[in-house]
Amino acid sequence: MNKHNKTLGEFIIDNQQAFQYSSGELSRIINSIRLAAKVVNYKVNKAGLVDIIGGVGAQNIQGEDQQKLDVYANDVFIQTLINREIVCGIASEENDDFITVQGNDNSHNNKYVLLMDPLDGSSNIDVNVSLGTIFSVYRRITPIGTPVTLEDFLQPGINQVAAGYVIYGTSTMLVYTTGHGVNGFTMNPALGTFYLSHPNMQFPENGKIYSVNEGNYIHFPQGVKDYIKYCQSEEEDRPYTSRYIGSLVSDFHRNMIKGGIYLYPTSSKAPKGKLRLLYEGNPMAFLAEQAGGKCSDGENRLLEIVPTELHQRVPFFCGSKNMVDKAEEFMRNAKEK
């Protein structure tokens, strides 16, 4: 890697003035995520060698089996953030309820809450497929000095001040936005340092990849079935290529670089959708829009949905703008029939 590439630390310092409330906390949150990601990355990369793969015999609030590495990643991120005293609250897909964070002096003076999916794609842990961490940051809305409440977490995605993901793949990358475009940083494993490798990431307006679990085809709404048939038809520049990894971070990352759409619609098995609005939907929607893409629930802009519960699920259509527009068109047409 070019030794002149800017490090993540240098990039954060250079862009400090771009943060709306530039008092250093947001920079320290990104730095904490960088640190926790390095620890989790180390464990992910030796997962097959130690007793950390497999299930723990417990389920999370979603009723999904928790993997050992899920629990480990959750603990690492939570402890790193608590120890650095930079957030006033944390919500995780792995925890039933949000965590209130106090300062050493028992104060509640920090301004930000963080929401996360600590290990996305964890069903792929045992088979050595890319995993990810997704995070989302909001400025609290309750008065500083008081403990956080549920209200601080149930904010629409348009209120996010930062969001991003870490992808633990052939290389480990941290990709994030603070509302001024999307930048990707690749870790040099020899040094443990993240370097700016993908400045100003952009979704191509059009793409030729569609990512959806076609095994659920029979359960999908008619509009989604029609769109999949469109993707498969031999007209114009089609058929498109089907690519579905089963790790949202990996599928999103590939589609942002190559151009594509990711679909996780409602189905008769998951009538509200499966992805979580707060831990997956909103951060990915923020990234998509900052990279010139689009994200909706099939009808409405995802970032404008007002959440009503911590673990709310949502249908998810995200990717290259023209592809999402076309999928929404099929959803509208199916409803009108």
Residues contributing to the annotated binding site: 93, 117, 119-123, 213, 244, 262-264, 274, 280
* 136 and 115 Cβ atoms separated by less than 8 Å: yes
- Report whether the peptide linkage leading into residue 239 is cis, meaning its omega lies within 30 degrees of zero: yes
Q: For residue 124, give both structure tokens.
A: 């792929």
Cβ of 137: how many Cβ atoms within 10 Å? Answer: 25
Binding-site positions for Mg(2+) read 93, 117, 119-120, 280
Distance CA 130, CA 336 (A): 40
Binding-site positions for substrate read 120-123, 213, 244, 262-264, 274
Residues whose CB falls within 8 Å of the CB of residue 272, separated by 6 or more in sequence, listed in order: 266, 312, 313, 314, 315
* 87 and 73 Cβ atoms separated by less than 8 Å: no
